[in-house]
Amino acid sequence: MKTSNHSSGLPLVEWNEARGKGRAPAKLIGCAAFAFLFASLASCTVGPNYVRPKAVVPPSYKELKGWKRAQPKDGIARGRWWEIFGDPRLNSLESQVDITNQNLAAAEAQFREALAAVQAAGSGYFPVVSAGTSAGRSRIPGTLGRSSSTSTGRSGTTQSDLLLSGDVSWELDLWGKVRRTVEASKAGAQASEADLEGVRLAATAQLAQDYFALRALDSQHQVLHLTVVNYRKFLSFTKNRYATGVAGQADVLQAETQLKTAQAQEIDTGVQRAQFEHAIAMLMGKPPSALTIAPSPLDLTPPPVPTGLPSELLERRPDIAAAERQAAAANARIGVAIAAYYPTVTLSATGGFEAANAAQWLTWPARMWTLGPAVLGQTIFEGGLRHAQTQEARAAYDANVATYRQTVLTAFQQVEDNLSALRILEQEALVQAEAVDAAKKSVVVETNQYLAGTVSALDVIVTQAIALNDELTAANILGRRMVADVLLIQALGGGWQAGSLPLCKTRCNGPK
């Protein structure tokens, strides 16, 4: 047995039966046991423990005050929020987004990457075990050599060295560097999963918006088609009156112009409709040529959406959860940076067989081993590197906290925006419905007066144009109300809950 001065100044105990005699002293076991005991007693976790940042949360939603809206019977279906609209065709389209959307596929792959990073960080808890073998032959000047396996020439000695060894190395997590790294990786994985849910929510919400906008165009197309039919009848009637000398040629030209204008509007709706259909196909991960949605005028009304309490929004928005988890990860990285100030202790051991020839190689007397701790000493000067890295980590945490708080504010703005849109559009829809009814009655009255010869054809045409514009506006308002309902559901998180994040036993508001 011998002791040699290691780079750290601690003794490294070494034993090789092939080169000496005797047994390893009992204090070797005591040395190893002491090292483990030291690791257990001295270990701590440096850096600040994470506390969820505070954010401004209003006691209630401003836009709900004084608005007596129908109350929903049930909450939003978790994961399938679009079912609240009761549209089987929408349900069918939405069910295909999860399967084929490539943005979702990319986000899911990034989530798996984050989970793998957690596993990689956790490997720091365990020792590294390796094994290897080597065989070599060397020439040494002089006459010293091993009698059994050396060949001596005039100028030196040639000898062989056969080695089979295994190594174990374990860096003790005395200051919590590994624990903070794992904590940061877990929070990062949770943020990645929240990002995945955010991408899924955005894709499904965009599809629903495009779908209802498409159906609103179908409603406008239906209005224009019926209008074209009525305008064609009016043109025919005017031509008959012109043929009998009752009406002038100007009446015919005006009626014909009105018909052609309505026909052009009817055709023009096809441009936007095709674009919405193509956008839906893309959201489903299909080429536009692979999807055709049959025309279907919008005949739904926006269902009431359960808003819940404002404080619940922090647990229902994936983007808020992702920002909060990023803040938690940044907080843990402060501990990783602080741990660099402290020395590291590594326990290492090597064992195997070493001999000068194959006959003695794998024999009991040829066994060898080394065991001992290694301490990387404290760096005296490094130009302020660790201080700068710690300050960088703290600044990154502050930035993530600010991003989290801004995300919360943006979320409340989006909820209030769409609550106000629904409230105002509901009022507008009621007034517009009255305008449509009045315009339709005006058309009937003006047409009868035109037949009686008391008004001109221009009066009828103007009234018909007003009625058409009112009906198109009503269809557009209904489409906007449906889109606002979708946006409200998206702003509320689509029924998602932060408690569903992976690696989270309870609420993710602290280190796990």
pLDDT for 423 beyond 90: yes
Give the C-alpha separation, 367 to 378, whole Å.
Answer: 35
Task: Give the pLDDT confidence score for residue 345 in this predicted structure.
Answer: 85
Residue 265 is encoded by which pair of tokens?
């509007």
Task: Give the pLDDT confidence score for residue 13 in this predicted structure.
Answer: 32
Give the C-alpha separation, 221 to 294, whole Å.
Answer: 13
Residue 216 is encoded by which pair of tokens?
């609103």
pLDDT for 425 beyond 90: yes
Task: Give the pLDDT confidence score for residue 223 in this predicted structure.
Answer: 96
- Domain range 43-48+57-342+378-500, its CATH number among 3.40.50.300, 1.20.1600.10, 3.40.50.1260, 3.40.640.10: 1.20.1600.10
Q: To which residue do tokens 């010869």 refer?
A: 453
Most confident of 99-103, 164-168, 197-201: 197-201
Task: Give the pLDDT confidence score for residue 153 in this predicted structure.
Answer: 52
Task: Give the pLDDT confidence score for residue 343 in this predicted structure.
Answer: 86
Give the pLDDT band (50/70/90) at residue 415. very high
Residue 289 is encoded by which pair of tokens?
């040529």
Task: Give the pLDDT confidence score for residue 74 in this predicted structure.
Answer: 55
Give the pLDDT band (50/70/90) at residue 327. very high
Contact status, residue 190 vs residue 504, Cβ threshold 8 Å? yes
Give the pLDDT band (50/70/90) at residue 76. low
Task: Give the pLDDT confidence score for residue 279 in this predicted structure.
Answer: 96
Conformation bin of residue 361: beta by default, left when phi > 0, alpha when psi is -120 to 50 = alpha
Window from 89-103, 151-165, 305-319 with minimum mean pLDDT: 151-165
Give the C-alpha separation, 264 to 474, whole Å.
Answer: 20
pLDDT-above-90 percentage for the chain: 53
First-to-last alpha carbon distance for the chain, in angstroms, is 46
The distance from CA 303 to its chain's CA centroid, rounded to whole angstroms, is 28
> What's the rounded mean pLDDT across residues 340-369?
84
**Domain residue ranges in the chain:** 43-48+57-342+378-500
- pTM for the model stands at 0.80
Which one is predicted more confidently, 366 or 3? 366
Contact status, residue 203 vs residue 97, Cβ threshold 8 Å? yes
Task: Give the pLDDT confidence score for residue 156 in this predicted structure.
Answer: 64
pLDDT for 397 beyond 80: yes
